A and B are shown apart, each in its own frame.
Chain A
């Protein structure tokens, strides 16, 4: 790609901490600072600080906002109270996944959607196409920066920088206008690592300032800057899907195991409902499962999976799990091969290597 890569407001800070950047869907982002394994381990045992400012922030407001969102996404947005966040997907008419994201209810008629960086333009175009009366869609992605502080010591470290009682922000809850390290930010107890932690939204200046403050304040407790490499292995172990791999426009949320966000019984019709209702009733033809290699080899995105000579699906993500030290993956397989314990073969370069279907998530925090 010859296009100029996009950068977050924290780009200039990466070097200071040894960050090594790569092209991540058009963004020049740090894949690691020290090493993926070391950062992964730090998040599981202490904490890591991630720059995820590339994520998109789209505000939806107006008297028609709730009805509009109910039509747009599969989860039941009417259940959201102010100060709560909800995970959902947005489907096309075929029940395929356009994106997965969090919706924050900021005010009675004002919501914030935090979408995947690579999907911002596509999502906004789709949202505008579906726009109804009395709804304002406002893409503020470039005016917001975002940090994720994740790990067992995340709370005690962040608490040192604010008078707000973080204990009172429960899981999937958030608070606006929290003063952290002298900056006015939105603090949300959410994340993408399987650990306790927070996501902190603010202006580019506020987030630049907090990046160094959090690292400084957390140094003694073991907080390290962490890159997208560790973010990927952490979310993978925790069983969380990555858009573009486990979720795509040709993969339904039910196939991806996200039935809990598809509320076919909510009052309003939503895009993709007919097909998703059918899939729920009749079952899906393929399903996302966990795989563990029996033979020596590491499954990787796009590797084909076989039962004898028959191709039955493909690996969507795979690596050697840094926590479990096992070679594991997610694979989208024909439903008849998705029972736990089923043996299949993964084609790794020229060889077919044995693997077994195992339960997900691979890792659960104790």
Chain B
């Protein structure tokens, strides 16, 4: 699967997509494929505050638990409720159906620290 060019990426394998001044966040194809079958996703609630580089939830595969690290600092304004009953969406549709949260961010400068698709591909290439 190709890495969508219009997204930005964190070292912890989250993607960020700008939408009308808000930012949608999920995990990458690479991350879901490393984790294997996702069976449980734990997300924050609307109104919760995310802090860049700190855990905001977790993704569990059959075998392991992996924390989600916030790529940006900001307030959660939307949470993908579908993942509660259909965690497998993370494997099936990491960039579309399995978005995790939408945040309003405090500091746009944090965006500059994220990688482009090319940089992310380079980082995850063997």
Q: Which residues of A contact B (CB under 8 A)?
A: 31-32, 35-37, 40, 229, 232-233, 296-298, 300, 319-320, 322, 327, 349
Contact = CB atoms under 8 A, between A and B. Distances in A.
14 contacts: A31-B36, A31-B63, A32-B36, A40-B62, A232-B63, A233-B62, A296-B40, A298-B40, A300-B65, A319-B39, A320-B40, A320-B62, A322-B62, A327-B40
Given A36-B36, A36-B37, A37-B37, A298 B63 contact: no
Contacts of B40: 296-298, 320, 327
A233 to B, nearest CB: 6
A320 B37 CA distance: 11
| B interface majority secondary structure | strand
Nearest to A35: B37
Contacts of B62: 36-37, 40, 229, 233, 319-320, 322
Interface residues of B, number: 12
A298 to B, nearest CB: 5
Given A229-B36, A232-B63, 18 more contacts: A31-B63, A32-B36, A36-B36, A36-B37, A36-B62, A37-B62, A229-B62, A296-B40, A297-B40, A298-B40, A298-B60, A319-B39, A319-B63, A320-B39, A320-B40, A320-B60, A320-B62, A322-B62
Contacts of B37: 35-37
| A interface majority secondary structure | mixed
Contacts of A35: 36-37
Interface string B66-100: 00000000000000000010000000000000000
A254 to B, nearest CB: 29
B58 interface: yes
Contacts of A232: 63
